[in-house]
Amino acid sequence: MKTKTIISKALILGGLSVLASASYGSTLYLASSASETANNSGSATVNISPNPQWSPAFSGTSWVSYTQSGNPNQPGYVVPANGTEVTFTDSFNIQGTPTLASLIVMADDTTSVSVNGVMVVPMAPTTGNTYTTCSDFTIGCSAATAAGLNILSDLHTGANTLSFTVEQIAGWSFGLDYSATIVSTTPAVSASSATPEPGTLALLSLPLIALSLIRRKKIQA
């Protein structure tokens, strides 16, 4: 029974190490924040206290701007002039082939969305738009806009950039919030170039060690 137990444990551990080294793909999460999101205004991106009438920021994100333009009740609040346009960008690297992508966005007053220079969501139309708080139409600040249906085809292996051109049209607050998830395959590694981690090698050797112990026990018997 002990011999069988040694074989079973060694083979299981060795098998687990092989499974752990297999590539099942990877997931990349993007989130608006002062540290992740750049902009072209000449000022650093900042996390802002949101306007009380905006929907709360998505999980793991922050409303961002190029200045403190969110909550009118906060010290240092700034009202960007009508006609102000600021492009915010999030650059990232995809190691494998993109297989799934989703993006949700909110903005005040509105924003367009581009992926690698290709516009996937245009600026909201101004005709019939009251801008009571922000744009009445997509993309606004009171509900998430899903843009994922058009994103996947414009992503590729290597360097990518999401761009959001936020526009101030009818005064008051100004800001952006977004969250994206991108799933991609992991590039295959040829057997000749693959170098297993030391820990993996140790686990893979367990079946051989077990067989060696079994053989020694038989000789001693």
Query: So what's the pLDDT on residue 25?
Result: 78
Nearest to 70 by CA among 176, 178, 145, 179: 176
Separation CA 65–CA 199 (nearest Å): 45
What is the mean pLDDT of the segment spanning 124-134? Answer: 95
Backbone torsions φ then ψ of 2, nearest 5 degrees: -65, -40
What residues contact 201, with CB distance under 8 A and at least 6 apart? none
Q: Comparing 203 with 95, which gets the higher pLDDT?
A: 95
Separation CA 92–CA 115 (nearest Å): 11
pLDDT at 89 over 80: yes
- 104: number of Cβ within 10 Å: 18
Query: So what's the pLDDT on residue 3?
Result: 43
pLDDT at 137 over 50: yes
Beta-strand relationship, 85-94 and 38-39: antiparallel
Backbone torsions φ then ψ of 4, nearest 5 degrees: -65, -40
Quote the percentage of the chain above a pLDDT of 90: 68
What is the mean pLDDT of the segment spanning 43-72? Answer: 97
What is the mean pLDDT of the segment spanning 111-128? Answer: 95
What residues contact 210, with CB distance under 8 A and at least 6 apart? 6, 7, 9, 10, 11
First to last CA, the chain: 15
pLDDT at 150 over 80: no
State the chain's mean pLDDT as an integer. Answer: 82
Q: Comparing 16 with 180, which gets the higher pLDDT?
A: 180
